Every structure is written in structure tokens, then in C-alpha cells.
Copies of this chain bind each other. A is one copy, B any other.
Amino acid sequence: MATFGMIEYEQANADVRAIYDDIMATRQVDSVNNFWKAIAHDLVALRRTWESVKQIMAPGALDALTKEMVYLAVSATNQCGYCIASHTAAARKAGMTDAMFAELMAVVGMANESNRLASGYQVEIDERFRTT
């Protein structure tokens, strides 16, 4: 279970509720994930983490779906069970199809394989990659 237990909306004080409200409004959902309830004991961390996530995940040069898939790719590489589950859901909500998921995992798998081949074979960086 979460280390401190989780803070449900009903138990939350006004500051925490305001952040929960912003999460739900921004994401157009009617509840917040356990992740937020678990870190809510530390209001400063809750606010900082949410403000960062909100800013980083907003569509910009990259659209929301691409960002969610990158998030999922990192989580699969790190093998974070919670994050894989929650960001698979988020990516689907943003439009990831089964075919996109399958291709995403294929790239993640291949990158993890070739990363180790490059390191294990001690491949030197090509001269032309060294110049900006």
C-alpha cells in the first residue's frame, strides 16, 4: 500500500482540493489517480510535481499523444508497474490505438536491445555525430 495511505478528496484540505480540482479540470476526468493521493501528504511536493507535469505534458511542439507515448516508453524501459498501467490508460485516452501501442513497444524493445549492443561492443561515437 502507499507508504502513508492516500488522501481522498473528502479528507483533503482546501489547498490539496484545489490541486485535485485543477488536475481533474485539466485532464477532463472526474477523479485523480492514486499517485496524486499518495504524495498529497507533502503539499509542496504535490504542487511542484503537478505544476511541472501540467507544464510539460501540455501540447506544444509535440502533441499530447506523442508525449503520453514517450512517457509510456520511459516507464516500460524503467519497468515501473504503476506508471505503465496509468500511462497506458492515459495514452489510450489521448488516442493511442492497439497498432500504435504494438509499434511503440517494438521500438522500446529494440532501443533497449541496441543500447546494450552499442555499450557491450564499446562502439565509438562516429566523428560526424560529435559536431553539433
Residues of A in contact with B (beta carbons under 8 Å apart): 1-5, 33-35, 38-39, 41-42, 44-45, 48-49, 52-53, 55-57, 60-62, 66-67, 69-89, 97-126, 128-132
Contacts and interface: CB of A to CB of B under 8 A. Distances in A.
A114 B3 contact: no
Instruction: Identify the interface centre among A62, A80, A82, A118: most chain B CB within 10 Å of its CB.
Output: A118
Contacts of A129: 85-86, 88-89
B80 A124 contact: no
Q: What DSSP secondary structure best describes chain A's contact surface?
A: helix
Contact of A108 (B52, B82, B116): B116
B111 A75 contact: yes
Contacts of A82: 118-119, 123-125
